Amino acid sequence: MDPIDDAALMAAAEAARGFAHAPYSRFTVGAALLAADGTVVPGCNVENASYGATICAERTAVVSAVAGGRRRFLAVAVAGPAGIALGPCGLCRQVLSEFSPDGSLRVVTRDAAGAIRATTIGQLLPAAFSATDLENPRQS
């Protein structure tokens, strides 16, 4: 099966954005994670009255995909409000990096004019802390 293109993945992210639960910030975000098997897993931000319990759209998609048995991903698209260039927050970059240790995961965003851009998680989070950093730790 041909993987879907950036525009189609962004359209899936925009659709997922419609399910966002963001009554506090009113800043709705959707994500669409393309798994290696071609499945597109949606995510949206899910806010909480205890603000720190909020989860971003990107992490919602990752945890949903993993809970569904998928851990290999090709790309993720992120859709936020029109008129701003939105990229994954630092926490989400770290979580996406967990499942793309080589940094090749494609990250699809929109710029302030609405044009689709693409980069990689390795570009967005160089020198990420990863599983290899936990190997043979000095116990001091």
- The reply to whether 58 belongs to the active site is yes
The answer to whether 29 contacts ligand THU (rule: CB under 6 A) is: yes
Q: Which lies closer to ligand THU via its Cβ, residue 34 or residue 79?
A: 79
The answer to whether 27 contacts ligand THU (rule: CB under 6 A) is: yes
Q: Which of 4, 41, 79, 88 binds ligand THU (CB under 6 A)?
A: 88
Counted residue by residue, the chain has a size of: 140
Distance CA 68, CA 72 (A): 12
The answer to whether 109 contacts ligand THU (rule: CB under 6 A) is: no
Amino acid at 20: A
* Per-residue buried b or exposed e for 60-82, using 16+ beta carbons within 10 Å of the residue's own CB: bbbeebbeeebeebbbbbbbbee
Site residues (CB under 6 A) for ligand THU? 22, 25, 27, 29, 45, 47, 54, 56-58, 78, 86, 88-89, 92
